[in-house]
Amino acid sequence: MAALVGCLVILAPLVARAAPYAAYVIDARTGQVLYSKNANTPLHPASLTKMLTLYITFDAIRRGEISLDSYVTVTRHAANQPPSKLGLQPGQKIKLRYLIRAAAVKSANDAAAAIGDAIGGSEAGFAKRMNDTAKMLGMTRSTFKNANGLTRTGHLSTAHDMAILGRHLFYDFPQYYNIFSRRSTDAGVRRVYSTNRKFLNAYKGADGIKTGYTYASGFNLVASAKRGQKRIIGVIFGGTSTAQRNAKMAHLLDIGFSRAPAYAKVQKPVAPDLDMVAQKDAPGAPVRVAVGKTIRLATAVHTSPRPRLRPDGATPTQPPSSKLLVAMKDDISSALNAVEDSQPAADPVKVAEDAPAADPAVPAEDPGDGLARSPVPAPRPGSAAPVQVAAAEPAAQAETRTAAADTAGADTVAPATSPAPTPAPAQATVVAMADTAPASDEDSIDAIEPTAASGDGGPQDDSAASSGIVFASAAPATTPTPEARPEIVTRMSTSGGRDWGINVGRFPSRYQAEKALLRTALTESSALSDSLRKVVRRKNGFDANFMGMTQDQADLACARLQARDIQCFSLSPS
């Protein structure tokens, strides 16, 4: 008996102390509280802290402080962080995009610390920015001391505050949100695997967000899941194991789905204006002004300036000759007629803004995380998608130029606005515009930052192509040649890597699949304007696919559709 008591005395210290428990469940669409227990008790958040680190990083990218292609020099402080870690070395240079992936997916402490040192200048500097940002978000009971969440006296948060942060991540930065659903990703130095993949694989509709564990915190989790029109966010502090925490979260989300109304008007949280926070907490103050915001405020215009008349001859003010006017009229008329003939008839199908979206299925492949190469920027509101009018050229030359365009430099950092190109003299412009649905006034949701006017995969790099207009020379009417007749390019070639696509659902009939394709194309016209709608018959239905895209375009389109709660996954070349 005494021996048994002695064994119990020896084993007692090895039993893990149960951390305080808290839980909170909300309807992500409205913020309505569906379940709460100890939700306002300050507890150790552990790696849930990285959610705020990433939120600040996304905001810094948006305002031009840093870009995804910025090389971050790893400090000794960051490299010396304990596991989980990526294995960074002091002095190593690594792109910010890889640090984001490692922090979000693997929960790497060294990656998160490197981000904090790069943006905040030091751990203390970044912690000050974290606390100021948390206050702006309404996280009133949280205090942060570091970027990765390792236990520190006074480093505390609540289940309520973490639910607020998760909701802001989803609505304020939808272009990056898919990173939290990745089961694995390339982190530059090696491939890393998600700490949350067991829950993502086990719970239907789960697509994020972040795990956390330390001895002081227990097993924490902020999870988000969508079923039908409902999206629920749940938070757990103090789980006793990964399996117990995941089972408890599944139960809480089930409660949330059962209590949330089937339909509810989305009430997005108000995104805070963090410019003053960034200026106040910029490393080495004096104040550093956000580049993107300053440009927009200083150069905002309400109307496009009228272009100057093109000169005809040596005298700048001399009007065009009668022969040139005749030639211009003939070429413009033929080009516009060809465009009109090539346009499809208007479809009566309209998409209401509040129409229910299709219930998303679990994608067959990992969705894009917004951290890939910068895609072609979407057109600005009120503008029209240009239909390119190009002179005929040898097939080999066109193919070479297309391939070169597909591999053009991506992830280019450039100001949000670019000056209008100066028109070349002694040429007549032939421009045909096709109506398109207006895009969002914000940057493309999958764009990391404002891209250069040349974009990614554009046909040319000159200034005319940058503006979305292709100029065709108007030869005199007396010397026309068949080769000089304009050719209307209405669809992008599927060569040069355009063998990717996306799937937006499987339907019981071809009619329903075609209708879904048309509705989706109208909803997201900017990302799908160059794709081909294709219905593929399967044994159990009809697949609605958009084809003829590059991998980047497919990832961009899927990210934009998923941000609109429309089911989508990429189709890679077979």
Active site residues: 47, 50, 107
Look up residue 151 and give its amino acid: T
Q: What is the DSSP letter of 270?
A: P
CB 93 within 8 A of CB 71: yes
Query: What 3-state class would DSSP assign to 208?
Result: strand
User: What is the rounded distance in angstroms from the CA atom of residue 107 to the CA atom of residue 298?
Assistant: 40
As given in the structure block, the two tokens for residue 455 are 């974009």
Q: What is the CB neighbour count within 10 angstroms for residue 443?
A: 18
Closest CA to 189 of 116, 75, 111: 111
User: What is the rounded distance in angstroms from the CA atom of residue 521 to the CA atom of residue 485?
Assistant: 31
Backbone phi, then psi, for 558, in 5-degree steps? -65, -40
User: What is the rounded distance in angstroms from the CA atom of residue 290 to the CA atom of residue 64?
Assistant: 6
3-state helix, strand, coil in the chain (%, to 5): 35, 15, 45
User: What is the rounded distance in angstroms from the CA atom of residue 194 to the CA atom of residue 369?
Assistant: 13
In terms of phi and psi (left: phi > 0; alpha: psi -120 to 50; beta: otherwise), the region of 208 is: left
Q: What is the DSSP letter of 155?
A: -
User: What is the rounded distance in angstroms from the CA atom of residue 254 to the CA atom of residue 194?
Assistant: 23
Max intra-chain CA distance, the chain: 116
As given in the structure block, the two tokens for residue 482 are 């068949």
Look up residue 320 and give its amino acid: P
